[in-house]
Structure 1
Amino acid sequence: MLPQCPIVRNGHLYNGSMKSADRPSRKSQTRHSSTGKTCHHFDYHRMTCDEYDALRARARGCCEICGTPEGRTGGKRLVVDHFEGRGIRFVRGLLCDSCNAVMSCVDGRKRWGANRRWEEKALEYQAASWQQPAPELWGLVATVQAHRRVLLGQRRR
């Protein structure tokens, strides 16, 4: 069994073992939902509304890889990009649909095509992820990505 991935959030170490009194509730995380339901970023990524706002401020309304403004993306919004594998899960940032597909290639979940021209910028973006796994886990992230690429029959340049 792999250890839980320690992540630094807002300068504090977070590993999912917060006391229940300190943990935000689903009822309190509805600010970004037009229907008053729990926000997707909380349900899926365990990001509070304040953390999501900080992530949006960091992105400044544009894709963090290519700089496309949010209103000009395919889905007319930026998506929360994350890495997940071998017990490690962390949010990297906000991306347009095209750059989210680039990160799927970096992660080894999709084959590279013409989008390979974004590879270097994508690796820089990943290194500056919004949530940072513990330094010793970056090697495991690279191993997972490399293993997935092998399964796809590809290698990184």
Structure 2
Amino acid sequence: MAVPLARLSLPRSPSLAVSAGAKNRPAASLTFPAKSFFGAPLAATAVSVASPLPRNPANSSPLAVVAAGKKGYKMKTHKASAKRFRVTGRGKIVRRCAGKQHLLGKKNTKRKKRLSKMVQVNKSDYDNVTGALPYLKVNRKAD
């Protein structure tokens, strides 16, 4: 059962504006305010939205849009280097000695004990290590 739109009685409200010459036209020609898909008014309609933040009348100059500066890319940590280097409490970079992984039968105990200790990375290699580990907190002035 279809009811024609002309016979429907729509309540008159200020939001439903009827044009001047539309009194004799069918109800389908009513002009409604433009709405977006979600029911919010589009930018073409003049709707004032109150800001939740109070405005300071002393600084009531027109708002200037400032483009946010580009921060660039995040520096990435080289994960293999992160597993090999540590920083001491004083900010020195230390590493393990090479030669303690395999073929230990022919190495004497004194040599294996010496290779077990952590040693400081040479100062000339600090740039290489800090390049691979950008967030490492290094004290370059440490002895």
TM-score normalised to the size of structure 1?
A: 0.18
More helix by share: 1
Give the number of the structure whose residues are more often strand, by fraction. Answer: 1
Q: TM-score, normalised by structure 2?
A: 0.19
Structure with bigger gyration radius: 2
